[in-house]
Amino acid sequence: MGVFDLFKLSGKTAIVTGGGRGLGAQIAEAFAEAGANVVICSRKLEQCQEKSEELKSKYGIGSIALACDVSKLEDVKKVVNETVEQFGTIDILVNNSGATWGAPVTEMPIEAWEKVINVNVTGTYLMSVEAGKVMIKQNSGKIINIASVAGFGGTNPEVMDTIGYNTSKGAVITFTKDLAVKWGKYNIHVNGIAPGFFPTKMSKGLIEKGGDKIIGNTPLNRYGSENDLKGAALFLASNASDFVTGEIIKVDGGSSAYA
């Protein structure tokens, strides 16, 4: 197999949660360009439909868009079942759907805490379990969990006063490593990506509030671009990473190197 062939996804099927916009859309595009069929799902179906149609037209791959609240088991089961019905398999799962909430620790409503944990942690668990059942039967699969550099430790409250989000992403990091250990015997690779700051709808408020500090603490002196996550995601989804599991790849412009 040639080196470039290692990165091809022809004949593979991927589910990308939260794939209608932001980082999820970037990952979905990378997979489609590499030849994969892509299932895009989130609570906002219209955005997923637009991205799905764009990928089909641009790359000639198979794609469907589905509504899904990843914190609800019935929604998750529906996505998995419809993916298998449409494409016959699930080779790649990207757990990208996420939620955040900014507030001082003593002022964060319990409802906000529960929402962030339910989407970021429980949603990652439910999607992994249901897609994993398919992967276990076929004795192969790639699961990629989108964590964050905020999950590795504390953050300056002047920039990120988001204790629920940080906690949830720390949980995703540990979940990734533990699931990799437990499912390695099924030839299922479980890895994560920890992005730094990318301009998205979710990060807009943080960037407006602490942009100077963010850039000042990023050695490459810029935010992530619309292409900067594609390479890491494609590597972890493809045969190029067949001896990699339990790993968290930081894509943060070097910001975590200060720690």
Phi, psi of 42 (to 5 degrees): -170, 180
Integer Cα distance of 123 and 34 in angstroms? 27
Residue of 59, 165, 223, 258 marked active site: 165
Three-state secondary structure call for residue 119: helix
Sequence-distant (≥ 6) Cβ neighbours of residue 46 within 8 angstroms: 20
Question: 253 with 146: CB under 8 angstroms?
Answer: no
Active site residue 165: yes
Helix axis angle, 163-183 to 123-138, nearest 10°? 20
Phi, psi of 248 (to 5 degrees): -120, 115
For the CA atoms of 5, 10, 15, 18, the dihedral, rounded to the nearest 10 degrees, stands at 70
Sequence-distant (≥ 6) Cβ neighbours of residue 131 within 8 angstroms: 15, 80, 90, 93, 141, 143
Catalytic residues: 165
